[in-house]
Every structure is written in structure tokens, then in C-alpha cells.
Amino acid sequence: MLSLDGVSKSIKGREVLHETSLTFPAGQTTVVIGQSGCGKTTLLRLVLGLMTPDTGTVTFDGETVTPQNAETLRHRIGYVIQHGGLFPHLTSRQNVTLLARYLGRPRADIAARVDMLADLMQIAPDMLDRFPGTLSGGQRQRVALMRALMLDPPVLLMDEPLGALDPMIRFGLQADLSRIFSRLHKTVVLVTHDMHEAAYFAHGIVLMREGRVLQTGSLDDLLHRPAESFVTEFVRAQRADPRLAAA
């Protein structure tokens, strides 16, 4: 469904993503992990068509992403960023429904979809009539996820969605996201720098360093069959997770 073939990108003369080929399996959660500045967000922006690759192609559902079709294809890809990216001057409900209203979806369909998503995200209906600035960080991320899912996209991209949350809120939202991913069977690409989060969510892991993919595979592959020494060092640096302690 979603793949990169020989994709590279340079910004101001610096190659931020070296030639990369990846396939994200349909219906599974792939976690892209690595240190800050390793190219994770650039990869997502290329998938979304917010950047044009210098080489190679991004393919979504058999169609090459181009500047001409990127906006239309983005209607089929949900996107959640670290702080939610909600418009502060709109209520939460207006944020969630913004694109559906712009596209002229029937009001009854929009209302039914909002009710379903609010139930899925465990958000009280009256909370949707509040402005984002009055919500907690966890509540804003739930609203942001509702907005990303509003058009029922087959693909969901998430860029450090839990990185700005305190540990208790983060733990609760992790559990809810795992439940939602299992229920909806979306193709999810989740970017993080946290190996524990990768272990929790991933069907497959892509480990990046300095714009290159070092290894792809399962958590077990990274733990017991590292492609190079940095993989072992990266895992051991976060070994507080019991699943990683044996590395």
C-alpha cells in the first residue's frame, strides 16, 4: 500500500535522507525510530507529499505521489504531530470536522462520524465544544487523532505523538492507541525516538541513523541479530524496559 523506492532528499546542500527503499505493510504498525535529526520526520513529509524527493518515488496504493496529486492523496492519510497541531481559534469539534466540512460531506454523516470517534477515543461530547487551549495535553492529542481519522483514511502517520506528554498521561494514551490500532486495522507509521514505545506498538521496526536505514525487522531481530554495533548500543541505552534488558 505504501512504499518508498530509492528516495533521497537534500536540504541546503545536506543530504538528510540517503537513498532509501521501504515498504510499510498494510494493516500493520511500523515504528520508525532513531535519534533526533536522523531523518524520521523528513521521511514522513516525503510520504505526505509535503516534500518532493530528489530521487526515487513514493507510492501510495499503486499511485506515485507527485506535487499534482499530493493534496488529494493526503485526504486518505491521517497525520498526527507531537503537539496535535490544532487550530487554537476553533473548537475541538470544529478542528475535527474542518476538512470534512471543506469537502462538503453531509452534515448528518459528519455528526455520526464525530460521535463514533468520540466514543472510540473516550472523549465526552461536551469536551468537543471547548477550545484546544482549555484541554490537557492528552485530551488535545485525542482530539488530534479524531481529526486524523475523520475521513476514515486507510493510512495513519504519527510523528512523535506522545513525546510531549507526562509519563502517566503517556502510559494511558499508549494503551488506548494500541486498542484503537487493533480495532481499526489501519496501516500505521509511527515515528519515535523511544525504543520502549517501539517495543510496545510495532509489528516491524525501522531503525535510522544520520539519514540512513540501519536495520528493519522485529524487536527480536534488533535485540539478537543487530545489523551493526550502533543497533546494539541504541537498544542498550534504553534497556530499562524489561523486554530490552537482555540485550
Total-model pTM: 0.90
Contact 5, 56 (CB under 8 A): yes
Give the rounded distance of the alpha carbon of 41 from its chain centre.
Answer: 10
Fold of the 2-76+154-240 domain: Rossmann fold (3.40.50)
Residue 210 DSSP class: T
Q: Could you tell me if residue 207 is left (phi over 0), alpha (psi between -120 and 50 degrees) or otherwise beta?
A: beta
Instruction: Determine the pLDDT at residue 242.
Output: 54
Residue 103 DSSP class: T
Strand 77-80 vs strand 155-159: parallel, antiparallel, or unpaired?
Answer: parallel
Strand order in the sheet with 204-209: 77-80, 155-159, 187-192, 29-34, 204-209, 212-217
pLDDT by residue for the chain (247 residues), tens only, comes to 799 999 999 999 999 999 999 999 999 999 999 988 899 999 999 999 999 999 999 999 999 999 999 999 999 999 998 878 999 999 999 999 999 999 999 999 999 999 999 999 989 989 999 999 999 888 998 999 999 999 999 999 999 888 767 777 788 888 888 888 888 899 999 999 888 888 889 999 999 999 999 999 999 999 999 999 999 998 888 765 555 554 4
Strand 2-11 vs strand 14-24: parallel, antiparallel, or unpaired?
Answer: antiparallel
Grid coordinates standing for 165?
506528554
Instruction: Compute the half-sphere exposure of residue 152: CA atoms within 13 Å on the CB side of its CA.
Output: 9
Distance CA 58, CA 220 (A): 28
Residue 34 DSSP class: E
> Which amino acid would we find at residue 153?
P
Domain ranges in the chain are: 2-76+154-240, 88-152
Give the residue among 200, 229, 198 at the shortest CA–CA distance from 214: 229
Residue with the three cell numbers 507529499: 49
